Every structure is written in C-alpha cells, then in structure tokens.
Amino acid sequence: MRQGSSDLSLALRIAALTVIFVLLQISVVSGVSVFGVSADITPLLVAFVGLSCGSVTGAVTGFAVGLALDLSLVQTLGLTSLLYTLIGYWAGRVREVRDPQAALAPLLVGTAAAAISLFGYAVMEFLLGVDAPVSLDLLRQILIGVALDAILALPVWFVVRRTLEGALPDDPRRRRRRRAYTTGGLSPLSKP
C-alpha cells in the first residue's frame, strides 16, 4: 500500500473512532454512575491513539476529541482540547522514546491519562474561577474516576488497536535497523 493511501486510511479510522467514542461518552457512558462518578473513555482513546501512532497524531486527535466534547457539552471552550492535546502528545512521546512492549503499558498509560484528565480539568476550572467546591469529596471523585478508567483501559486499548491495526505507521526501531543496515555496509556493486 502506498504511503498516501495508508495515511488517508489511518486518518479516516481515527476520525471514525473519534465520532464513535464522543457519541458513546455523551449518550451511554456518562449516564452510568458508579459511586456517584461516571467513567470517561475519551482520554483513553486519545492516549491510545498517541501510543499507537506517535506524538503528532496523538496531539491532533486530542485536540479534535477535546473540541468535539467542549462543543457538544457546551463547556469552557478549549479547556478539554488543551488537556487532551497534552495527553495525546505525552502518550505519543512514550511510544517514540521508549517503544513500550510490556503488556501493562496500555494499563499504565490509560491510568495516567485518566489522572491527568480529571485532575487537570479540576485545577483548570479552579484557576479560571468557576464556582465549584474544593473538598475531599472532589478528591474522592477523582480517585474513583481514575479507578473506573483503569478498569476500562484494556478493553478500550483492544478496540483502538484492532481498529487501527492495518494502517499503523512502521515501527521506528525497525526503520532504524533497516537504515543502518542498508547504509552501513558495502554495496554488492562496489566489490572488485
């Protein structure tokens, strides 16, 4: 498959995931409450797109998902976009720098993304002067939200990975090895 059609296929798959996850979050997931807190699957989507595709794709996906959520929920415009852009970029950098192969990497990245999303949103709302009570109940809600998202991290990782599987970019380590091999030795044509 050519590079241009592969990029288009990846972009279309990510766009479809974005629409489906935002609609699921708004219509189904936010209506289910556990101990007074509902889960949030959208930061998991952003983190796993970043973990699968890299920092730039993760950041762009984070911005798009955050903007879609802000517009559909009539929230402070750009706040969720900012947080999700950071989450997508951070998860992509984890992929580019460490190339995580461990089975628990999606669980750890998903849990960290949920914590950044929930805690970051609370801090940003407080800094913007929104009247919200700051108490131990807020901390309890954040901890329960992170635990719920940690439970949902592996199923969401499976869905995102399966959807993007055919259009993912090459493994960076494989490209480096191939480049080192082809440019590091003598060409068979240069032999006497």
Would you state the pLDDT for residue 9? Answer: 86
**pLDDT for position 190:** 54
What is the structure's pLDDT at 49?
Answer: 93
Average pLDDT for 155-162:
92
Nearby residues of 74 by Cβ (< 8 Å), 6 or more positions away = none
Cβ–Cβ < 8 Å for 88, 18? no
pLDDT digits (tens, 9 = 90+) for 30-87: 888 888 888 899 999 999 999 988 899 999 999 999 999 999 988 888 889 999 999 9
Q: Which residues pair with 34 in a beta bridge?
A: 37
Residue 167 pLDDT > 90, yes or no? no
Reduced to 3 states, what is the DSSP secondary structure of residue 26?
A: helix
**Residue 104 pLDDT > 60:** yes
Q: Containing domain of residue 184, as a range?
A: 3-190
Distances in whole angstroms, Cα of residue 153 to Cα of each of 6, 130, 144:
27, 30, 14
User: Residue 95 maps to which CATH number?
Assistant: 1.10.1760
Least Cα distance to 161 among 3, 63, 5, 49 occurs for 49
What confidence category does residue 101 fall into, taking pLDDT thresholds of 50, 70 and 90? confident
Domain count, the chain: 1
Residue 1 clears pLDDT 70, i.e. is over it? no
Query: Cα(121)–Cα(47) distance, rounded to whole angstroms?
Result: 16
49 contacts: CB under 8 Å, gap ≥ 6: 14, 17, 57, 58, 61, 88, 91, 160, 164
